[in-house]
Structure 1
Amino acid sequence: MGQLEEKYEALLEYLRSLNSVAVAFSSGVDSTFLLKAAKEALGDQIIAVTAQSCSFPQRELKEAIAFCEKEGIRHFICKSEELEIEGFAQNPKNRCYLCKKELFEKIKKLAAEQGIENIIEGSNMDDNGDYRPGLQAVAELEVKSPLRHCNLNKNEIRLLSKKLGLPTWEKQSFACLSSRFVYGETITEEKLGMVDKAEQLLLDLGFHQVRVRIHGMMARIEIDPAEFDKLMQPETREKITRELKSYGFTYVTLDLMGYRTGSMNETLDIKK
């Protein structure tokens, strides 16, 4: 047995030790893999919980619903409107903490009602390297992180997902739309909708890994540098500019550094 398979067996063993779990399920690469492993380890002693809010694209919610139906997993959709959380809309540096704390408190209550012993979420070893205030809420509420517990990183999760036949193995990384805003800039439902439509357009045009960061009314597009030439084709460039302006953006720019996680954290002076 290879090291990767050993890690997967260790994950299944750890999940079995939890007896029953509620999985915070976003339909992303990590949480889909975790939910699949939990299903294998615990059978019907699991539930999936997905948050529904204006910062969570409808396409992701639809994928979450479809996956749970296909796998025969009990699925709960939890209304979690971040903009109603005191202080969230002002986009403070601990925005993610405020959101995760509220969400996991709701999942904790739901889990108790369903007789579920533990709550688990899908952060992995790579998440330890960036500013992640949401992990503080995970620790405070005693939510478990099996992928970190078993030292699994993103690449290993993708490889194992491919072995398991999961369609998410090559899915683009995703973070909630609120992460597209500069810290301190007010988050509104209107601007979240602009970002959502802009990113959906880029995905529909065939770009794989995308972010549309919003600075006031300016869009800063992040894509893989390998796809710069594709974006700069006159017809594509003009279409993107035209469409994003119709969504409400005044300026449309391309970030020459390309896609990277946590680019809004580059201005923070925070010890990790």
Structure 2
Amino acid sequence: MSFFVYNRLLSRLKALSRAAVAFSGGTDSAFLLFAAREALGAENVLALTADSAFFPREEAEGARALAANLGIRQVFVSADPLSDPLIRQNPPDRCYHCKKRLLSVLKQRAQAEGFPCLLDGSNADDAGDYRPGAKAVRELQILSPLQEAGLKKDEIRALSKEYGLATWEKPASACLASRIPYGEPLTIEALRRVEQAEAFLRSLGFSQLRVRAHQNLARIEVPFEELQGLMEACRTNGIVPMLRSLGFTYITADLSGYRMGSMNEILRENRDNPRLENIR
């Protein structure tokens, strides 16, 4: 079934003359970049990566290496979401405003480079979470070939493995702003300390993780089965002193374990609560 859907994806891509890909280096955008190269040829594909405070440096370097390995020209495009006062306020629809700003910049650069369309890596599973950024994709007429072809995340991982892409087992990622609760102002300092905290935990062997920053409290999410390992690492690897050196006073482990979009749980669980009308 996956190969049938992949062929459908290639057919859609072949209908384009040239295409730029909004490329973060994650599993979805990496597979899309690979498929676009297969369908159009490397000379007709451009990888565009937003250079933003919301994008971890490690992710940027990984994206650079992957584009080079695929033989596709990559352009880093400067973007500064924090220059927008509304984005800094971090409302529940922050992702919409941020994504519209970033994709607008990328689309303008794509057209300036002679690429008439911009593709993004949204997949068929992305409709299940609270994703206000999807509205920006529609408004800007960004194409989402993976979603249009009906490719789900597990299929993308399976196909990526089949075609030798190292990103097939890469943990899900998200912009650093997703670690800050809605309504808490976004600052470069808050984003950087989350980035440094997560980089430290990854250096200890935790790959799928989040450090959610509730002001001076760090809420660490790792898969439930790794919670015991996290407790052991706290005892032997100095996690608490390290995170305190970054400015966190309290360091906690979320006993529910890692789950994508945990900052959206209050929105999903209180849709009909009039007291939360101001955060919809």
TM exceeding 0.5: yes
Deviation at 1:4, TM superposition (A): 0.8
Match of 1:87 in 2: 86
Deviates more, 1:53-62 or 1:228-237: 228-237
Cα deviation, residue 236, structure 1 = 4.5
Kept in 2, the 8 Å contact 1:18–1:117? The answer is no
For residue 140 of structure 1, report the CA deviation from its aligned partner. 0.2
- 3-state SS, counterpart of residue 5 of structure 1: helix
Residue in structure 2 matched with residue 258 of structure 1 by the alignment: 257
CA deviation after TM superposition for structure 1 residue 86, in Å: 2.9
RMSD: 1.4
State the TM-score, normalizing by the size of structure 1: 0.96
**Number of the residue aligned with 2:275:** none
SS at match of 2:210: strand
Q: How do 1:117-136 and structure 2 match up within 5 A?
A: 117-136=116-135
> Counterpart in 2 of 1:13?
11
- Tell me the distance in 1 between the aligned counterparts of 2:62 and 2:90: 28
Query: What is the CA-CA distance between 1:208 and the residue it aligns to?
Result: 2.0
- Which residues of 2 match residues 228-267 of structure 1 at below 5 A? 228-233=227-232, 236=235, 239-267=238-266
* Number of equivalenced pairs: 270
Paired with 1:142 and 1:237, the residues of 2 have a C-alpha distance of: 51
Cα distance in structure 2, aligned partners of 1:68 and 1:91: 31
TM-score normalised by the chain length of structure 2: 0.93
TM-fit CA distance, 1:212: 0.4
Pairwise CA distance, 1:238: 5.7
* CA distance in 2 between partners of 1:195 and 1:60 (Å): 14
Residues 4-57 of structure 1: CA deviation (Å, up to 9, x unaligned): 111111111111112211100000111001101111111111101001111111
Equivalent residues of 1:221, 1:252 under 8 A apart: yes
Unaligned stretches of 5+ in structure 2? 273-279
Q: What percentage of aligned pairs have identical amino acids?
A: 48
Of residues 34, 37, 50, the one that matches 2:35 is 37
2:86 counterpart letter in structure 1: G
* Contact 1:119/1:144 (<8 A) preserved: yes
Contact 2:234 2:240 in 1 (8 A): no
Cα distance in 2, alignment partners of residues 236 and 172 from structure 1: 25
Paired residue type of 1:137? A
